[in-house]
Amino acid sequence: MALPTKQEVQDLVKELTEAANSYDDSASLAGHLSRTGIIAKAKDLQRALISPDQTPAYHGLNMAELIAARTFIKIGVLDAIPETGIISLQDLSKATGAQESLLERDARILVATGFLLQPSATTLAYAHSKFSLVYRAGSPAGYFFLALYDQYLKHAYNFDDYLEAHGQLAAAREPDDPLHNPCTWNANQDGVSVWQIMAQNPEKLDQFQKGLAGIDVAVPPVGHFDFALLKNSEEENAAGIKELVDVGGGHGVVLSKILAAHPELSPKNAVLQERKDICDLAAEHLPEGAVAMEHDFTKAQPVKGAKGYFFRMIMHDYSDSVASEILKQIVRAMNSQSRVLVCDMILPQKVGEADFAAAVMDHAVMTMGGKERTEEGFRKIFDAAGLELVKVWRAPGVPGGVVEGRLRAN
């Protein structure tokens, strides 16, 4: 049925009211889940009331909002609107140098979606909403939006053309090559890594890195796996065994957080592995005693028999076949006491209001040949590398967690 009956609408309203009765405005997990539940019920009601023939209009509104928001960020409109109070269209034009009619047309879309406010229906003057405020310059949420728009949407909007250009319309395949994917294809640089392409524009690379910082809360470095399990015995310390190797660990911020949260681990038993240029910058973040080691994780792992090999937000950049090959380098260095610890988003079998952000990230990394995975997806790449998935460690209320693997018994 295209539209619900009156009784069905009343039932949906009742469900929404019941969810609203449990509203919790706290910053706790319970508060987050209560609000998520209300939003889910509100969307159920909205979807029921929208007729199928309205679908293109709503999709068009979503498209227009993204374009208008990105434009307003780039030409400085959001910074020109005062944090409190309103600004007229004329004054906004003077402040930005942008044509009044262009501003009016973009603002019309953003007001329609609630991203911007237009307090008077008869006056062209605008104010920030709580949503537009967080997209002002320097905001983590703003950087995250720019990362999604510039490094995902601009490479994904013509995905159908990418498939056609690669002769895949009749048998479409997910991109699985880090050197040949929608990102490299759109940049006309097939054969060059996405990271090398990003580095060609330092400003956008900086925006992207700042944007990724915005998802730290979704994939926390601690709060899931019990890193105390990696603590060495006196005999293991005497043998020089490393407790934790942070593979592809960036500037060392994550490793430092783990060591701070688990003082039972010794910094002298911790190793950060990264490219040389990044290792040189890691010293300011690493605690005394920790080692920064130059290493390419697609090559043989030089630290043998470590208690834990930790990958945070690494595997999601790569396809199943590439991820398995990376893990094989670790398997060859492991012993029976070693663990592989992959810290990434873990997709549910069915995505809902509470975890749709993980599906968005999966679609985003697809443009560079990567993927987010379900538990079964991790089991697949572990099995191909000779590992047994022994446990999935979850942090409450977030899509991120740690997938633990051990050497598979022969």
Helix axes 100-113, 55-74, angle to 10 degrees: 130
CB atoms within 10 A of CB 375: 15
pLDDT for position 1: 58
Query: Is 363 one of the catalytic residues?
Result: no
Quote the tokens at residue 334: 């492991």
pLDDT for position 216: 77
CB atoms within 10 A of CB 321: 11
Query: What's the whole-number mean pLDDT along residues 215-235?
Result: 93
Instruction: Determine which of 150-154, 289-293, 393-397 has the lowest per-residue pLDDT on average.
Output: 393-397
Residue 213 scores a pLDDT above 80? no
Mean pLDDT of the chain: 95
Quote the tokens at residue 124: 């062209």
Which residues have CB under 8 Å from 49's CB, separation 6+? 3, 4, 9
User: Tell me: the pLDDT tens digits for 36-81?
Assistant: 999 999 999 999 999 999 999 999 999 999 999 999 999 999 999 9
Percent share of the chain, pLDDT over 70: 100
User: Tell me: the pLDDT tens digits for 329-385?
Assistant: 999 999 999 999 999 999 999 999 988 999 999 999 999 999 999 999 999 999 999
First-last CA distance in the chain = 56
The catalytically annotated residue of 251, 285, 295, 316 is: 316
The owner of tokens 């956008």 is 204
CB atoms within 10 A of CB 325: 15
d(CA 366, CA 351): 17
pLDDT-based confidence at 158, cuts 50/70/90?
very high
The predicted model scores a pTM of 0.90
